[in-house]
């Protein structure tokens, strides 16, 4: 099938590449020329396991191409995926400007019937806005006497909602082996045709068992928000209980295992820590709360989920201040982990950003190490610190975890990278100025207190 992907961030690039891998002919377009140039030179713009090899292979087979020519891209695909970002707008709603800009591009350049697939996470009703944006452009073209636009049938597009559930860090695997494929189509013949074509497109991912869930467009759009809201709720629930567990002298890790064993609860997304980050949970929870407000409703659980998460990003800072005092001048902290979770270099809404800012603004030096995210950190951390050049200059980067801790007053663990899970504690103790660990991911056994460490964790 001829496929076009508009917007090649984490979702668009993985979608386009995986669809090429199973034999489709895929053209990817992005407004970011640098990204296209980078891909053209054989490099991928972000870290994602298995993706560079897959991109190279499919480019090599000429099944995957990258272009900055939007007309060529729109012309190519019978099926056009929109995978642009939907960041939070100032009022917390999903900012649809990039999605709608992509829709306008489709209307401006389409020369035949298209199936437009909405991959971005968007509020209920967005499919209609996409359809209207395309229709508006077609109308303009007809008005200007464009013969191609005039020849198009009355309903030249079907808009499908196909939200994406991949996880950064395991994105290729998630796309190739999905738990479920949600496809929302509209009623009527155009929707029926789209439903059949999407079934064909996803058939290779659907062989072992039927993973496709067909539903109406609005329900599909809503499913994505409901999924992220549920996962975020589990995390905030555990974080809130962890803070109480800490006060009660209870170990939240034991409690996690105790409740996770119940199949009605399950183990997933129950780890207590320094709060969730990333490009999805924070903005999606906020957007759903905003949608509800627009309908005169309050989503009180999700309001609390968000408030708990915002507070949780400061819990470890408070422990550090509790131990060392509010004036951290002449203190150095080793920071292990910068990305919002392991196996990605994504630092959007990462708890480490709150930590770094809090430490350097109190006068501390920070020596950070992350296996992948340091280039991204060098880009975003100075932005966080804005005009505070002095504070920004107090952030340094180490070449290894051990180099980061040498001479530091304490180790602060922010991301649960595998490389941090089983350090040589004797060497760690020798390298640190003081044997103090603030573990924001509960990686270590509290029994290390018996080895002379002052160990601060979340709810343990």
**Phi and psi at residue 185, in whole multiples of 5°?**
-125, 160
C-alpha span between 395 and 450 (Å, rounded): 32
Q: Which of residues 271-310 bind ligand NAD (CB under 6 A)?
A: 279-280
Interaction between residue 17 and ligand NAD (CB under 6 A)? no
Rounded to whole angstroms, the Cα distance separating 376 from 361 reads: 20
Which residue in the set 121, 162, 309, 312 belongs to the binding site for ligand NAD (CB under 6 A)? 121
Binding mask 168-197 for ligand NAD (x = CB under 6 A): x-----------------------------
Tell me the CA distances in angstroms from 73 to 56, 105, 135, 265, 284, one per residue in order. 20, 10, 19, 45, 29
- Would you say how long the chain is, in residues? 460
- Cα–Cα distance for residue pair 158/342, rounded to 1 Å: 38
Query: In sequence order, what are the beta bridge partners of 412?
Result: 335, 438
- CA within 13 Å, CB half, 56: 8
Partnered with residue 368 across adjacent β-strands are: 335, 397
Rounded CA gap, 154 and 379, in Å? 48
Q: With respect to ligand NAD, which residue has the nearer C-beta, 353 or 394?
A: 353
Question: What residues between 306 and 365 interact with ligand NAD by CB under 6 A?
Answer: none
Q: Judged by CB under 6 A, does residue 83 bind ligand NAD? A: yes
Based on the shown chain and the rule CB under 6 A, indicate whether residue 35 belongs to the binding site for ligand NAD.
yes
Q: Which of 16, 29, 372, 408 binds ligand NAD (CB under 6 A)?
A: 29
Kindly indicate which of the ranges 77-85, 209-217, 321-329, 419-427 contains the residues binding ligand NAD, using the contact rule CB under 6 A. Answer: 77-85
Site residues for ligand NAD, 150-169, by CB under 6 A, read 164, 166, 168
Q: Which residue in the shown chain puts its C-beta closest to ligand NAD?
A: 9
Q: Which stretch binds ligand NAD (CB under 6 A): 81-89, 303-311, 359-367, 427-435?
A: 81-89
Helix axes 315-324, 351-361, angle to 10 degrees: 30
Task: Give 7 or 351: the residue with its C-beta nearer to ligand NAD.
Answer: 7
Q: What DSSP element (H or E) covers 145?
A: none
The answer to whether residue 28 is catalytic is no
Per CB under 6 A, does 10 bind ligand NAD?
yes
Q: Which stretch binds ligand NAD (CB under 6 A): 31-39, 289-297, 332-340, 428-436?
A: 31-39
The residue from 280, 289, 308, 367 that is catalytic is 280
* Minimum separation from the CB atom of position 110 to ligand NAD (A): 14
Cα 251 to chain center, whole Å? 30
Residues ≥6 apart with Cβ < 8 Å to 393:
none
Please identify which residue in the block is written with the tokens 């320094």. 274
Q: Does 32 bind ligand NAD (CB under 6 A)?
A: yes
User: Which of these segments, 82-90, 266-274, 372-380, 414-422, binds ligand NAD (CB under 6 A)?
Assistant: 82-90
Among 109, 153, 106, residue whose Cα is nearest residue 129: 106
Answer yes or no whether residue 102 interacts with ligand NAD by CB under 6 A: yes
What is the rounded distance in angstroms from the CA atom of residue 5 to the CA atom of residue 118? 10
> Whose Cβ is closer to ligand NAD: residue 161's or residue 312's?
161
φ and ψ at 231, to 5 degrees? -65, -40
Report, in Å, the least distance between residue 210 CB and ligand NAD.
22
- In the complex, the smallest distance separating the C-beta of residue 37 from ligand NAD, rounded to whole angstroms, is 13
Residue positions annotated with a catalytic role: 280
**Residue ranges that bind ligand NAD, judged by CB under 6 A:** 6-12, 29-32, 35, 83-86, 98, 101-102, 120-121, 164, 166, 168, 279-280
């Amino acid at each position: 099938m001829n496929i076009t992907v508009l917007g090649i961030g984490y979702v668009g690039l993985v979608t386009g590449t995986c669809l090429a891998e199973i034999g489709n002919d895929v053209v990817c377009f992005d407004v970011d020329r640098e990204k296209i140039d980078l891909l053209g030179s054989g490099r991928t713009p972000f870290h994602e396991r298995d993706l560079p090899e897959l991109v190279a292979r499919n480019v090599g087979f000429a099944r995957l191409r990258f272009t900055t020519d939007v007309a060529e891209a729109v012309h190519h695909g019978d099926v056009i995926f929109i995978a642009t970002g939907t960041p939070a707008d100032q009022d917390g709603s999903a900012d649809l400007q990039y999605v709608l800009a992509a829709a306008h591009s489709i209307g401006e350049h389409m020369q035949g019937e298209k199936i437009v697939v909405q991959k971005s996470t968007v509020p209920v009703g967005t499919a209609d806005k996409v359809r209207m944006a395309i229709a508006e452009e077609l109308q303009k073209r007809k008005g200007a006497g464009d013969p191609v636009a005039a020849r198009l049938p009355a309903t030249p597009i079907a808009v499908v909602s196909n939200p994406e559930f991949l996880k950064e860090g395991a994105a290729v695997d998630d796309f190739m082996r999905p738990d479920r494929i949600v496809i929302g189509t509209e009623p009527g013949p155009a929707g029926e045709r789209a439903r059949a074509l999407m079934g064909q497109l996803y058939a290779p991912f659907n062989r072992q068992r039927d993973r496709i869930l067909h539903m109406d467009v609005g329900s599909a759009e809503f499913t994505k928000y409901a999924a992220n809201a549920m996962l975020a709720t589990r995390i905030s629930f555990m974080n809130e209980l962890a803070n109480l567990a800490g006060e009660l002298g209870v170990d939240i890790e034991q409690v996690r295992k105790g409740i996770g064993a119940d199949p009605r609860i399950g183990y997933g997304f129950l780890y207590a820590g320094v709060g969730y980050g990333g490009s999805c949970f924070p903005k999606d929870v906020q957007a759903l709360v905003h949608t509800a407000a627009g309908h005169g409703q309050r989503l009180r659980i999700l309001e609390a989920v968000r408030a708990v998460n915002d507070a949780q990003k400061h819990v470890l800072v408070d422990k550090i201040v509790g131990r060392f005092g509010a004036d951290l001048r002449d203190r150095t902290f080793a920071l292990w982990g910068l990305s919002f979770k392991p196996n990605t270099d994504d630092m959007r809404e990462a708890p480490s950003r709150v930590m770094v800012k809090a430490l350097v603004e109190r006068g501390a030096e920070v020596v950070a190490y992350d296996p992948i995210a340091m280039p991204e950190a060098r880009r975003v951390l100075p932005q966080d610190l804005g005009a505070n050049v002095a504070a920004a200059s107090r952030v340094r980067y180490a070449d290894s975890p051990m180099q980061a801790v040498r001479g530091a007053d304490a180790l602060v663990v922010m991301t649960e990278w595998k490389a941090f899970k089983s350090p040589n504690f004797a060497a760690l103790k020798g390298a640190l100025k003081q044997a103090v660990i603030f573990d924001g991911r509960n990686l270590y056994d509290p029994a290390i207190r018996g080895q002379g460490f002052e160990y601060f964790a979340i709810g343990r």
